[in-house]
Structure 1
Amino acid sequence: MQYEGVLKKMQTELGSPIQYYLVFESDFLNINQVLDKELSIDFLKHQCLNCGNDRPIFRQGFCKSCFFEIPSAGDWIMRPELSTAHLDQEDRDLAYEKRVQLQPHIVYLANSSNVKVGVTRKTQVPTRWIDQGAHEAIEIVEVPNRYLAGITEVALKDHVGDKTNWRKMLTNNVDDENLVAWRNKLKQYIPEEASQYFIENNDETHLQFPVLQYPEKVKSLNLDKTPNYKGILKGIKGQYLIFEDNTVFNVRSNEGYYVGLTVTG
């Protein structure tokens, strides 16, 4: 089977295990069905997710000029505390920013390599947790806009991590944590503006990833350095493909790369 198209982050469907899909312009591939089969990845060109031109990808699937111009790549995406739509203040496109920022957001705890705090739109639960490779997660606060979620995350980062150790996550060298206890312990550090939105009674969500074999020591596939790769797919976790030879491929960090895929076996 052969497929061709520009990479975007894999779409997911909650299940036991989680189902993963690569979606191209005129076709899609259920990656779970490729497990234990040989997958070839051939880099063909770049294709910016915004302008569509064959230009080197700068960040988030965009070429450099698009990254610094389009509203969906504003600084508030990565730093929610910089959101200003609730003040009617524009960053790049106020209509877009209001549409994204002025909707319910969740501050959560996720355990992928360690317990970390994060922010996502409510509509992205549990997708955000899946993308991070978290095997357990819990909501702490549900607020009406991105700014309140951002300042809550900043306050909690003094008391819990905010980064995932992706190598540890991929080797599955992780411990189970009592996230309900973590949530209750962190309650006292929530800013006053967001304290009324604390979620008192909820349980952890547990996630099962389709992995047949975890790598012992991961080595990352870089398409710029290795434009043609072939290996036996052994698992999918977060946005990573895991191969039998310990190679891992981060689909999301390669958004905007136009590839050919061949499945054999």
Structure 2
Amino acid sequence: MHYKGVLTKMKTENGSPIQYYLVFENDFLHVNQLLDKHLSIHFVGYECLNCSLNKEIYRQGFCRQCFFDIPQAADWIMRPELSQAHLGIEDRDLAYEEKVQLKPHIVYLANSSNVKVGVTRKTQVPTRWIDQGAHEAIEILEVPNRYLAGIAEVALKEHVGDKTNWRTMLKNEIQDENLVEWRDKLKAFIPVEAMPYYLENNAETNLEFPVLKYPKKLKSLNLKKTPQFSGVLKGIKGQYLIFEDDTVFNVRGSEGFVVQLAIA
């Protein structure tokens, strides 16, 4: 079977295990059904997720011009503490910024390679944790806007990590942590403005990924350098495909790439 389309991050449904889907314009693939099958990936071009032109992808699925122009790629996306829509101050497009920033946001702890703090819109729970490959997570604050979530994250990352070690996550070299204890320990460092939104009695969420075999020595597939790849799919974790020969492919990191897929 053959498929062709523009890569975007895999859609997910939480379950035991999590269900993954690759969605193209005219097709979709239930990726879990490809486990133990031979998958070929052929890189054929680019399609910017904003302007749809065949221009080289710069970051986050966008060509260079779009990345520096559109509100979906502004600095406050990666650094929520820079959000200013709650003050009525525009960065690139105030209407868009109000729509995204002035919604309930969750500050959370997740454990994918180590305990880390993060921020996401409430509607993105548990999708955000799945995308990070976290096997456990807990909500610690539910705030009314992105700015408050951002300043809380900045304060807490003085005392806990804010990055995932993707190699450790993919090898599954992980330890279970008591996230309730971590939440209680970090409570003292939450900024005063965010403290009214502290979630006292939340339980942690556990997530199960569809992986038949974890890699031991990782080889990262870069479609620019290796435009043709074939292998037997052995797992899906975070936004990565894991192959039998220990090759791993970051689907989200290749957004905007046009590919042909063949399944045998």
TM-score range, shorter-chain basis?
Answer: over 0.9
State the SS of the aligned residue for 1:192.
coil
Partner SS state of residue 29, structure 1: strand
Give me the whole-angstrom Cα distance separating, in 2, the residues matched to 1:58 and 1:230.
Answer: 25
Number of residue pairs aligned between Structure 1 and Structure 2: 264
For 2:201 and 2:263, locate their aligned partners in 1 and report how far apart those are by CA, in whole Å.
46
Residue type matched to 1:208 in 2? E
**Match for residue 50 of structure 1?**
50
- 2:69 is paired with a residue whose SS is coil
* Mapping 1:164-183, distance limit 5 Å: 164-183=164-183
Residue number in structure 2 paired with 1:97: 97
> Once superposed, what is the RMSD of the aligned Cα atoms?
0.3
| Partners of 1:218 and 1:146 in 2: CA distance | 35
Structure 2 residue 100 is the aligned partner of structure 1 residue 121: no
Unaligned runs of 5+ in 1: none
Q: TM-score, normalised to structure 1's length? A: 0.99
Distance, in Å, in 2 between the alignment partners of 1:7 and 1:256 is 6
**How far did 1:40 drift?**
0.2
Task: Give the corresponding residue for 1:201.
Answer: 201
C-alpha displacement of 1:123? 0.1
Whole-Å separation in 2 of the counterparts to 1:195 and 1:204: 20
Residue in 2 aligned with 1:246?
246
Match of 1:85 in 2: 85
Partners of 1:69 and 1:244 in 2: how far apart? 40
Give the whole-Å Cα distance in 1 for the aligned partners of 2:242 and 2:216.
11
Deviating above 6 A after TM superposition, structure 1's stretches of 4 or more consecutive aligned residues are none
Deviation, 1:217, is 1.1
1:202 Cα deviation after fit: 1.0
Q: Deviations 1:116-158 (Å, cap 9, x if unpaired)?
A: 0000000000000000000000001000000000000000000
1:63-104 Cα deviation digits (max 9, x unpaired): 000000001101000000000000000000000000000000
2:21 and 2:218 mapped to 1: Cα distance?
23
- CA distance in structure 1 between the partners assigned to 2:47 and 2:172 by the alignment: 33
Give, in whole Å, the separation in 2 of the partners of 1:199 and 1:185: 13
Matching residue's letter, 1:103: K
2:68 equivalent in structure 1? 68
Per-residue deviation, residues 162-209 of structure 1 (Å, max 9, x unmatched): 000000000000000000000000000000000010000011100000
SS in 1 for 2:233: strand
* Partner Cα separation in structure 2 for residue 219 and residue 81 of structure 1: 35
